Structure formats: C-alpha cells, structure tokens
Chains A and B, each alone.
Chain A
Amino acid sequence: MGYTGFVIANLLRNPLRSALTGSAIALAVLLVCLLLTMPAGLDALLTSVASDTRVGVINKSGLVFWMPYSLMRKIRALDDVADAVGMVWFGGAFEEQGKVTFPSFAVEVEHIPSTYPDYKLAPEAVAAFARYRDGVIVGRQTMRKYGWKVGDRVTLRSNVWNVNLDLRIVGEIPRDSSPIVWINREYLDEAIKAQGRPGLGIVMIIWVRVPSPDRVNSVMLRIDELTRNTDYETTSQTEKTFFSNFLGSLQGFLQILLMVTALVSLCIVFIAANTASMAVRERAGEIGVLRAIGFRRRVIFSMLLAETVVLSWSAGAVGVGLAWVVTTSLKRLGGSIAALGPLGGFSVTPGVIIQGLVLSLAIGIFAGFAPAYGAARRPVADTLREVF
C-alpha cells in the first residue's frame, strides 16, 4: 500500500457518507455543465440559422409596428441589394392540435429563393410554392412536430387577420431547428379582401440580402436613411444581431441561472467542508498517531486534502459524464421531439468538460483545505492528550 492506496482506503471507510457527499458534488457539477452548454449552444444555433449577409428591417418603434408595402420597391432599387422579401406576421394556429401556434409569415413567394439561397430549398418545393397559391413551406422542426409531410393539407387560423386558410404543404425548410411556416402573401391578401376588407398593403419585417458582408453596413445606413422623417422610420440589423437581440433576454436568464448555480456550488463547498471536518474530527486520534510516528504536517495535510479532492474530482467527472449523457440524449430526442427546441442542439464541449472538472477540483480544494490545515497544524501532543 502506498499513499494513493491509503487515501482511497480512507475514502472508503464510510462509503455511505462518501457516496452522499459525492452525489451532491456530482449534481452541482451536472447543473453547472448543463447551464454552461446553453450559451455555446445558443451561439451555435445562431451561427447555424443566421446569416451575416442578410439584413432585417423593422419599424423603429418595434416589431409589431408596420411599414408600407411600397417600401419594398424602394429597397430593392438600392445598390448592393441582391433581393429582399417582405413578411407579415400571420400568427397561424393549428386548431387540430389544440390551437398550437408557431412562427408563420405571409411572404412574397418569388423573392424567397434569392433572399434565402443559404436555406437550399428544393427546386421542386420552390416551383410548387410559386405554382400553388395555397402552397406553404414548413420548417423541418414543425413538420416533425406534427408529423406533416409534403402533399398534406392543413388548415391554419390566423388570430391576427381573423381568417382560416386551407393550405397545401409543398416543401420543407431543410433545417432541423427551423419551426418557421411561410405562406403565400397573395393568398392571405385575397382571403382578407374576400371578407370585404382592404388588402394587406403593409409589411412587418423585411429581409434584405446583400451580396457581401462588407457592404452590409452601407446598405443598412441607406435603408434607414430612406425612411428618415417618415412616420415609419426603420431600424436595420444583420440577421445575426437580430436573433442575438431576440435571444438576449434568454442569455440574461441564463446568467441568473448560472449565478444561482454558483451559489449552489458554494453551498456544496460548505457541505463538503463540514463533512470533511467531521471525518477529520472522528479520526483525530489516528491523525495524532500518524503525526507521532513521524508523518510530517505537510504529508498529513496533503493526504487529508487529497481525500476531498479525489472524492470531489471523481464526483465531478461523474457529473460531467451525466451532463454528456443528458445532452446526447436530448440531441437524439431532439430529432423526434420538436418540443425540445434548441435544447436538442446543446452539447458538452471540451471547454465545458474542463470547466466542470476545474469546478469539482475547486470544490475539493476549498472544502478540504481548512479541515486538513487545522488537523495538520495541531500540536501532536495536544491531540494525543485530548484523544487518549
């Protein structure tokens, strides 16, 4: 038996206590790791769905305020604008499934392919979207969520425009995380007019594709300049910034969660320190004997600290492993359970593994330091006199 064996033997002297302390640490590390995967996961999600050559234009007053449809023509006429598509929030609800809603927009069909070349829509889907006025293109996540397939007919009710639209699914947005539904703007326009109301005549968000990233700023400035001093002044952002702002509140929420988890970890440090103190107190006689037979203070300190560090680090490794299992399972389930949304995209990266292991190491060091230091510093004669 060497020092390692001695440390392990001491750890196993009270298996239940070690297991309970280890479980608390593993749980804390699991929570922290899961939370740490989220910002990176959201960033990855953003990178995968958002382009830096597409610009979103909305009314400066907010997303729910409109802009005149005539603005589309002016924007398309600007230099460095490859194409642009105007969208109107449809607010579709799928009544067969308990009135669930998803992000659905009425779009200018003919401008979709050139504004979203990166979506790599199937040519037959694009052709069918143009051919059928009741055609609809649906994001893969929503397709999977409701078990829809191309050729299915669905009825969506718009609570915004107070119309029911019978729609024919003509294609899919081939992105696992896309919940979006695009319907034909003209079809919605006709449905509204059929009710004796004026047609759409407005857009709520305009997506503009710019040929290269270095021209994006100039295009954004010129678009906002176009609408200056009108009653529909605009604000333009790249798609990445747009979604990033949209997710901003979620990031803030994650920060709060991380702070709470940090506090939980601190509590775990105190619990583990208390456990280590109890263990050291119970073994005061043994430690005194070890000191008496020649174990130096630093050796005693190192052995006692090693016990908490080994326990904490092992528990941390279990926590990291569990986090990996959870995220991997979510990723697998994400393909079939669309309700998981972005959760299915989170993964335990090497960075998260390192942070989890460092955290568990820190818990072990902070928890074990004071009891180990106290036991090592205590005069051996005092310990022996008190214990025996």
Chain B
Amino acid sequence: MSVESAPGTPPLILLHRVSRLYRRGVDEIHALEACSLRVERGRFVAFMGPSGSGKSTLLNLVSGIDRPTSGEVWVAGQELNQLTEDELARWRARHVGLIFQFFNLVPVLSARDNVALPLLLTRFSRSERQRRAEIALRVVGLEHRLQYLPRILSGGEQQRVAIARALVSDPDLIVADEPTGDLDARNAEGVLGLLRQLSAEFGKTIVMVTHDPRALRFVDEVFHLDKGVLLEGEEAERAGAAMRVAAGGGLMGEAPPARSPGRAITPRA
C-alpha cells in the first residue's frame, strides 16, 4: 500500500512504525505494534476495534498524551518524540482539543468557565476568554446554558460543553475518546452530528475512538485495529463489514452511508 497524500499539503497526522510497549512487572504488553498511518487535514476519522485492540493507545500517541516505545509520531508538522514533557503540554494546549467519554467537566465551574479553562493557558484577557467560551458554547448550541453547573446539564449537554472546551482554543486536531460511550442513542447521534459539522463547516481534523457502529455514518475514514495492529486490505474490509452489520445496515437492508475505510500506509523499509 502506498503513502497517500493530498497534493501540496502535508498530512496533519503521520505515524511511522509506531509501537507502544507496556511493562507490568515481568510481563510485556504490546499495546501497539509497528503502526503507520496518515490523516489528512480536515478529515473526520475513527479508530475502531475490540477492547484491548490499541485504539486508545493510538489516540494517546496522536494527541501527545503518551509517547511511543519506538517509531515516529508527527502531528501538525511537529515530531512529538522530540518534545519534553512541558513542551508537549504546551503543544497540546495549542494544537489539540480533547473530548472524553465521561465528559470530565469540573463540577464546581459553570459551563462557560469549563469551556474557558484551556484559555487560562493563553494570554487572553478575562473578558476575551469569556467571549470565546460563549462563542464555542453557541457553536454547540448551548448559549442558553452559560451559567449552568455540569450537574444541572443532561449527559448530552455535558458532552457538548466538553466539545466546546475542545474547540475553544481553535486547535488543529480534535481528539475524542468514546465520545458517545456514556450517552443514549439520541444524544449520541447529536454528538456525532456535531462532530461531523465541526469537521465539515470548520475544517477541523477529528480523530475519534469509538465502539459505536453509528459512527460509520458520520466519519470520513475508519481505521480498524486488532491486537495492537492496524488492519489492512481484506482484514480491514472484513472488520468494516462486521461493523456495518452491527450498525444494522447489513441485516436491515439499509447500509450506513458508504465512506472510505481508513488505510494504513506501507511502512518504509
């Protein structure tokens, strides 16, 4: 398989033979083995696979939360391995917006203050931080919930606040770890639709880990993982088909909108 790149623009994410090994006592766990992939700017991609397949590890590496045991991780033109812990933190603040399964809002802060949290790391004035937080909340349709504490908001609303928080610093990359995992069907659809909208209308690159087959209808690409390996070719097709069946398309006769399966890139020798 060859390296695919849009003419003239470098990919936002480029992984080259990335492995991640965990040691638990004498045991070695290969969470990820020699993964190589690229994601172009503005794409909405999903990492899918069974539990323990390495999806979250891959997401952590792409977002600069974790470091590979070997291989190179390039995001937004920066090789993350070269950065110190503090430089990585600074880099994440500037380039990455994060969305988690359990929302993880600060319970004592209002929706607006939660959204404004990443802006504390900038030099914006207090009023500017508030203004930007309000805009982000408007984008996710929660401009009427500015002063609400998270406990008063529904699960779907809390996840929208989390999306606004990920969006507020205008990052190159939005990373979502099971964003619909704690939501009912209606709210899950709403959140996926919102992420799709952010990608389509604002050109945001979104990388999402999910088990949710509904996601197939919203994403541009899907990368399938199994046992720490990025699946390719027929294996990837089979995994995609199984996912579509799980989504109801194969059995119910209405397939989810066909979007392209994500493709791993052939590692350089």
Q: What mask results when residues 306 to 342 of chain A are scored 1 for a CB within 8 Å of chain B, else 0?
A: 0000000000000000000000000000000000000
Q: Does A74 contact B (CB under 8 A)?
A: no
B116–A294 touching, CB < 8 Å: no
Contacts of A286 in B (CB 8 A): 104, 106
Within B77-122, which residues are at the interface with A (CB < 8 Å)?
A: 85-86, 89-94, 96-98, 100-102, 104, 106-109, 113, 116-118, 120-121
A293–B107 touching, CB < 8 Å: no
Distance A371 CA – B219 CA, assembled complex (angstroms): 42
A294–B109 touching, CB < 8 Å: no
Closest Cβ–Cβ distance, residue B124 to chain A (whole Å): 11
Q: Does B205 contact A (CB under 8 A)?
A: no
Q: Does B65 contact A (CB under 8 A)?
A: yes
Q: In terms of DSSP, what is the predominant structure of the interface of chain A?
A: helix
Contacts of A379 in B (CB 8 A): 66
B108–A293 touching, CB < 8 Å: no
B116–A381 touching, CB < 8 Å: no
A2–B65 touching, CB < 8 Å: no
A294–B121 touching, CB < 8 Å: yes
Contacts of A99 in B (CB 8 A): none
Q: In the complex, identify which listed stretch (A7-15, A29-37, A135-143, A194-202) lies at the interface while the others stay far away.
A: A7-15
Which residue of chain B is the closest to A8 with respect to CB atoms? B108
Query: In the complex, how many residues of chain A place their beta carbon closer than 8 angstroms to a beta carbon of chain B?
Result: 28
Distance A107 CA – B59 CA, assembled complex (angstroms): 95
Closest Cβ–Cβ distance, residue B211 to chain A (whole Å): 14
Q: What mask results when residues 246 to 288 of chain A are scored 1 for a CB within 8 Å of chain B, else 0?
A: 0000000000000000000000000000000000000001100
Pick from B86, B96, B97, B126: contact of A296, CB under 8 Å: B86
B89–A296 touching, CB < 8 Å: yes
Contacts of A3 in B (CB 8 A): 120
Which residue of chain B is the closest to A5 with respect to CB atoms? B113
Distance A13 CA – B65 CA, assembled complex (angstroms): 28
Closest Cβ–Cβ distance, residue B163 to chain A (whole Å): 13
Pick from B86, B92, B102, B113: contact of A293, CB under 8 Å: B92
B100–A388 touching, CB < 8 Å: yes
Closest Cβ–Cβ distance, residue A241 to chain B (whole Å): 60
Pick from B85, B92, B94, B109: contact of A292, CB under 8 Å: B92
A289–B109 touching, CB < 8 Å: no
Given contacts A9-B108, A13-B107, A292-B98, contact A297 B120 (CB under 8 A): no
Q: Does A6 contact B (CB under 8 A)?
A: yes
Closest Cβ–Cβ distance, residue A64 to chain B (whole Å): 69
Q: Does B187 contact A (CB under 8 A)?
A: no
Q: Does A290 contact B (CB under 8 A)?
A: yes
Q: Does A146 contact B (CB under 8 A)?
A: no
B118–A1 touching, CB < 8 Å: no
Contacts of A297 in B (CB 8 A): 85-86, 89
Closest Cβ–Cβ distance, residue B179 to chain A (whole Å): 12
Closest Cβ–Cβ distance, residue B107 to chain A (whole Å): 7
A294–B102 touching, CB < 8 Å: no
Contacts of A291 in B (CB 8 A): 89
B90–A294 touching, CB < 8 Å: yes
B120–A2 touching, CB < 8 Å: yes
Which residue of chain B is the closest to A11 with respect to CB atoms? B108
Closest Cβ–Cβ distance, residue B63 to chain A (whole Å): 7
Distance A126 CA – B165 CA, assembled complex (angstroms): 86
Given contacts A289-B100, A380-B65, contact A294 B89 (CB under 8 A): yes
Contacts of B91 in A (CB 8 A): 294
Distance A295 CA – B56 CA, assembled complex (angstroms): 21
Distance A295 CA – B94 CA, assembled complex (angstroms): 11
A290–B60 touching, CB < 8 Å: no
Contacts of A9 in B (CB 8 A): 106, 108-109, 113
State the A residues within 8 Å of B (CB). 1-3, 5-6, 9-10, 12-13, 285-286, 289-299, 379-381, 384-385, 388
* CB-CB nearest 8 A-B residue pairs: A294-B93, A381-B66, A9-B108, A289-B104, A296-B89, A1-B113, A13-B108, A294-B92
Q: A290-B117, A294-B118 are in contact. List 7 more A-B contacts (CB 8 A).
A: A3-B120, A9-B108, A9-B113, A13-B108, A294-B94, A295-B89, A379-B66
A-B contact pairs, 9 of them (CB 8 A): A1-B126, A6-B113, A9-B106, A285-B104, A289-B100, A289-B104, A296-B86, A296-B90, A388-B104
